[in-house]
Amino acid sequence: MTKGIRSRLARCLTATALAGATLLLAAGAQAQTTVRLMHVEANPAYAAIWRQLADTYQNEHPGVTVELQFLENEAFKAKLPTLLQSNDAPDLFYSWTGGVLKAQREAGAVQDLTAPMQADGGAWAKSYLPAAVDGVTIDDQALCVPLKMSMVGFFYNKALFEKAGVDGTAIRTWDDFMGAVGKLKAAGVTPIAGGGGDKWPLHFYWSYLALRLGGEPAFTAAKAGENGGFTAEPFVQAFAKLKELGAAEPFQAGYLGTRWQDTLALFGDGRAAMLLTFDDSANRQAKAAADGKGIPRDQLGTFAFPVVDGGAGAPEATFGGVNCWAVSRNAKPEAIDFARWFTSEAAEKTMAENGMLIPAAAGAQASLTDPIVKGFAEQLARSPFHQLFLDQDLGPSVGRVVNDVTVEVVSGQMEPEEAAQEIQDAFELQ
């Protein structure tokens, strides 16, 4: 072989090698994907666990990087709408479902996940509690990946109940509940800590009463604009029961101006016997109490919102929230895969073990360690219908009306029929 031929061959081999290396680098660049997630999380210990889980996913999926951004609640709500209208939206973001999520769908900001969730006989959808799937489904479209559930129920101070001769475990019906209110008042005990200053804590009462009186069919019909909407009999009756409660004066003096944190403190300090609140309020009341300890765990009791005699609602139906990961419109396929992994039974068991949430993943509830939260989780697992917080489910404009009229009815400033009509008017105008 001549020197010239060898030289040309060497140059050819070098060029081929360089071209091959370029192709490999290009392929590697194409394989590297970044999934961006934005979340509301104020607890640094919980944020660290989210990061550990994301690192585990990255190790199992070479070529995928997961970026987690944690924002304070108000900052998150202020920043997200602008991001969703841009090309810089996170692939996944924390959502409260309900009316806001519906508006995001109508604006084309989120993906419809129905097809992947129902593929393979609905394998993905079946990996969650049915109530969680229902909570993220709007107009028959799955718009979010279920993450966690929350439930509202009554907490009570066992010592104050004993003082008044009330058995908390025997409260099953609305009449039982009103009887307990009367006994507590007679014993000189404030029956209920009320948070009228923020309004939304009092809407729990009307919402739960409507759920017990009308059940899922009443809410389904009202949202569809049928049977008179929110002026239908169960909703008016619920306001009548709420008016009855208000007339019994069960709350502390000045409750209409009491903010939520102060309501928790009132209960935690032993200045009221009951509180209708979230499933994780054993810790909330302790933190809010003047001594930072609150009511000891062994002195805390809980009971489900009572049934109403003659009501059509299922006694096991629950009221609360479903939180989830929404997938933005331009999110990568890897984002959906990560969301599925991030809400799997295995991942959510880790979250449950660390007291981070009541998991939406079926089977993960077994890893809960807090007996009070575990009790709420068991109720959710049995629930045939989980109604979302109405001030979220019906959208912000209707939600404000719900909160406003609830306070006016319980304080005797508005009649039940008028309150129901105002909600219906707001619902029709939105």
- Residue 125 sits at φ, ψ, to 5 deg, of -60, -40
Distance of alpha carbon 219 from alpha carbon 213, whole angstroms? 11
Length of the chain counted residue by residue: 430
311: helix, coil or strand? Answer: coil
Let me know: does 141 contact 112? Beta carbons within 8 Å. Answer: yes
Amino acid at 195: G
Question: What pLDDT, on the 0 to 100 scale, is given for residue 31?
Answer: 55
Hey, what domains does the chain have and what are their CATH numbers?
33-150+320-388 (3.40.190.10), 152-318+390-429 (3.40.190.10)
Question: What pLDDT, on the 0 to 100 scale, is given for residue 8?
Answer: 40
Question: What pLDDT, on the 0 to 100 scale, is given for residue 15?
Answer: 42
List CB contacts of 136: < 8 A, sequence separation 6 or more.
Answer: 97, 101, 142, 143, 144, 145, 146, 322, 324
Distance of alpha carbon 132 from alpha carbon 299, whole angstroms? 31
- The parts of the chain modelled with pLDDT lower than 70 are 1-31
Let me know: does 172 contact 232? Beta carbons within 8 Å. Answer: no
Q: What is the pTM of this model?
A: 0.83
Question: What pLDDT, on the 0 to 100 scale, is given for residue 29?
Answer: 38
44: buried, middle or exposed (CB in 10 Å: 19+, 13-18, 0-12)?
Answer: exposed
Residue with tokens 């010239």: 4
Residue with tokens 């939180």: 323
Distance of alpha carbon 393 from alpha carbon 360, whole angstroms? 18
Question: What pLDDT, on the 0 to 100 scale, is given for residue 45?
Answer: 87
* Residue 408 CB neighbour total at 10 angstroms: 18
